[in-house]
Chains A and B, each alone.
Chain A
Amino acid sequence: QKEVEQNSGPLSVPEGAIASLNCTYSDRGSQSFFWYRQYSGKSPELIMFIYSNGDKEDGRFTAQLNKASQYVSLLIRDSQPSDSATYLCAALYSSASKIIFGSGTRLSIRP
């Protein structure tokens, strides 16, 4: 079992719809969780982080964390073609030195 698991996709969503990306993690001691976006051929960039159970909203993005279920999600509202990318879920492990990434979910927004 990988430490951070994501569905590899591709996930295809029509423009203007809500894209929902999911992630599970295995280390119950993990405290912090991150969503990075990676365009093809580029390096990852941080778009959201969440530390507490519940929802955190930033513009069109909402991150959700459920520590009891060891589940993290990212919702993208009003999806745009520019949102087409690979989304990487990451967890800061309880050792506080490793940041472990999932394998990423490819998201495609179709016009």
Chain B
Amino acid sequence: GAGVSQSPRYKVAKRGQDVALRCDPISGHVSLFWYQQALGQGPEFLTYFQNEAQLDKSGLPSDRFFAERPEGSVSTLKIQRTQQEDSAVYLCASSHRGRNTGELFFGEGSRLTVL
């Protein structure tokens, strides 16, 4: 596609529910990132993939968060047993370079609200 596509755009979950957020990067982009952005804050790094390899997951806040990119293209961020503090916009970004150069193309984000 022309840009990074994320779905769903909006998700309301009850506390304790599991959610899955999908990211479809720009075709051919090797690197893929997930960020969490709370209201009024900058994006917080969660995890980074190069092709199907998850090279850095140091930003995942707990073991309830899991990300995968099994075929090196589409990625899914899964949050188990959601908590209210998980409410945020989850941004996916991709980069065409194998080595991360910081030139990221962001999707529109998935806004998660946990009640």
For chain B, the count of residues having a C-beta within 8 Å of the partner chain is: 25
In the complex, the answer to whether A44 meets B106 with C-beta atoms within 8 Å is yes
Residue of B42, B43, B45, B106 with most chain A CB atoms under a 10 A cut-off? B42
In the complex, the answer to whether A32 meets B109 with C-beta atoms within 8 Å is no
Kindly identify, within residues 94 to 115 of chain B, every residue whose CB is under 8 Å from any CB belonging to chain A.
99-109
Q: Chain B residues in contact with chain A, CB under 8 A?
A: 33, 35, 40-45, 48, 55-56, 58-59, 91, 99-109
Pick the contact of A88 from B33, B40, B43, B48 — CB < 8 Å?
B43
Q: Is A103 on the interface with B (CB-CB < 8 A)? A: yes
Pick the contact of A43 from B41, B45, B55, B91 — CB < 8 Å?
B91
For chain A, the count of residues having a C-beta within 8 Å of the partner chain is: 26
| Interchain residue pairs with CB less than 8 A apart (18) | A6-B42, A32-B101, A33-B102, A36-B104, A42-B108, A43-B107, A46-B104, A88-B42, A90-B102, A92-B101, A92-B102, A95-B56, A97-B48, A98-B45, A98-B58, A99-B45, A99-B100, A101-B45
B40: chain A residues at CB < 8 Å are 8, 103
Pick the contact of A104 from B42, B45, B55 — CB < 8 Å?
B42
B105: chain A residues at CB < 8 Å are 46
Residue of B43, B56, B103 with most chain A CB atoms under a 10 A cut-off? B43
Q: How far is the CA of A42 from the CA of B100 in the complex (A)?
A: 23
Q: B41: shortest Cβ distance to chain A, in Å? A: 5
